[in-house]
Amino acid sequence: MQVLCPLLNRNDQFRTSAKIAFHKQEFAEINENQTFCKNKRANIAKNSKLHPKFTRKTIRMAKFRRNHDYQGKKGGSLVRVGLFAAILCGLIAVYNQFAGMKIQMPEAEEQVTPVDRVDDKEYYLPRSKSRQVVQHKYFSLGYNELHEQADWVAYVLTRERLNENKFERPDRFEDDPLVKTGSASWYDYRGSGYDRGHLVPAADMSFDEKALNETFYMSNISPQARDFNKGVWKELEELTRDWARKFKKLYIVTGPILEKGGKGSIGKNEVTIPTAYYKVLLDISEPEMKGIAFVIPNEVSYEPLFKYAKSIDEVEKMTGINFFPELMSNELEKAIESKYNLDLWPFSKKRFELRVNKWNKEP
């Protein structure tokens, strides 16, 4: 115990000496700082134009401006950081949207040619048993290989298209390269006594040269009696163009009636001769949305056109074709297709008399 006490005393003395030295150093630093501040205030007072009694206020204002500048810089930095964060979040959101998006590629269907996107975006094609749907530039058709002609052709006719420049008709019939099973040929009609009758009239597509040429593909042709083609059928085609100009836009579906095998067949490819032809017209532009259809026997006619008028539903029952399954709501489809109003479709007495007195008598 006596041996340890001197050691403890010496340790206490050492710690006391260290504390004293530390405090002396601390007092020296404080004095040095006070001296520095006094000298700085003296220099500010000396260089300032203000009276010495405003020196403290000047120092405080300087500190305020320094703090204000710092806060401004700090606020600007926060704004920049905020903008950067917002842009970054936006980029991440866009990436996530496209990364999570499922891109659906169109499925290839058998014997269906690609859609030409230059035509109307509304889906107006009929639904039928046709195994080949061929889509040309401005019209589409459902080809019936058994009868070697189209069950239907569908297109949109507008006032604008009818008012555009007219191209000259080629008067040269060709096989349709898009019919995979092969269409009928022009020589099937040679010496048959039947005209190569257009389903889509050439005059309806004369606004575009390619579309006009496509109307002369044999897939758009059907055996028509000569007096029918240049008579009542011609009148209906011209009247349809009049209605398209008046109502601005019509959806049109045309085709043959091939029930019971028709009237026989012609040519090497055995092209069926239809018993009649139909034409379905739809106007869904407000305020008067309406529809009408015609079924005309494949022979000469002296009857006015309105005698052949029918509702769209009646023609659907005759042909087994649903003409506008995707174009209208179910309610609107039922309202328009179940009836027709002749008063909404102005007929031409002058054109009827021209047909009876002239067209029907031409050789």
Q: Quick check: is 117 in a domain? A: no
Residue span of the structural domain in which 146 resides? 132-361
- Are 95 and 137 part of one and the same domain? no
- Are 140 and 74 part of one and the same domain? no
More confident residue, 102 or 24: 24
Task: Among 82, 100, 118, give the residue marking a domain's end.
Answer: 100
Q: Which residues pair with 198 in a beta bridge?
A: 221
What's the Cα-to-Cα distance from 309 to each of 2, 202, 255, 281, 303, rounded to whole Å? Answer: 137, 23, 15, 11, 12
- Are 357 and 240 part of one and the same domain? yes
Q: What is the pLDDT, as a whole number, of residue 170?
A: 85
Q: Which residues pair with 174 in a beta bridge?
A: 217
- Are 136 and 257 part of one and the same domain? yes
- Are 69 and 174 part of one and the same domain? no
pLDDT in tens, 281-321: 999 988 899 999 999 999 999 999 999 999 999 999 999 99
The region, left, alpha or beta by phi > 0 then psi within -120 to 50, assigned to residue 267 is: left
- Are 95 and 177 part of one and the same domain? no
Task: Among 59, 82, 100, give the residue marking a domain's end.
Answer: 100
Residue 141 backbone dihedrals phi, psi, to 5 degrees:
-150, 155
- Are 73 and 165 part of one and the same domain? no
The total of structural domains in the chain comes to: 2
Q: Quick check: is 110 in a domain? A: no
CATH number at residue 205: 3.40.570.10
- Are 289 and 344 part of one and the same domain? yes
- Are 152 and 231 part of one and the same domain? yes
Q: Quick check: is 176 in a domain? A: yes
- Are 78 and 191 part of one and the same domain? no
Q: Quick check: is 120 in a domain? A: no
Q: Quick check: is 114 in a domain? A: no
* 28-55 mean pLDDT: 47
Q: Quick check: is 305 in a domain? A: yes
Q: Quick check: is 121 in a domain? A: no
Which residues touch 154 (CB under 8 Å, ≥6 apart)? Answer: 124, 125, 126, 139, 140, 141, 251, 252, 253
* 77-95 mean pLDDT: 61
Sheet holding 132-135, edge to edge: 132-135, 139-144, 149-158, 249-257, 276-283, 290-297, 309-310
Lowest mean pLDDT among 81-95, 221-235, 316-330: 81-95
Q: What is the pLDDT, as a whole number, of residue 2?
A: 41
- Are 298 and 205 part of one and the same domain? yes
pTM for this one?
0.67
Q: C-alpha angle 201/216/139, rounded to 5°?
A: 60
Pair 151, 220: CB distance under 8 Å = no
- What 3-state class would DSSP assign to 302? coil
Q: How far apart are CA 112 and CA 179, in angstroms?
A: 9
Task: Among 81, 100, 119, give the residue marking a domain's end.
Answer: 100
Q: What is the pLDDT, as a whole number, of residue 87?
A: 75
- Are 154 and 242 part of one and the same domain? yes
* 329-348 mean pLDDT: 95
Q: What is the pLDDT, as a whole number, of residue 118?
A: 38
Q: Quick check: is 122 in a domain? A: no
Q: What is the pLDDT, as a whole number, of residue 268?
A: 94
Lowest mean pLDDT among 55-64, 89-98, 194-203: 55-64
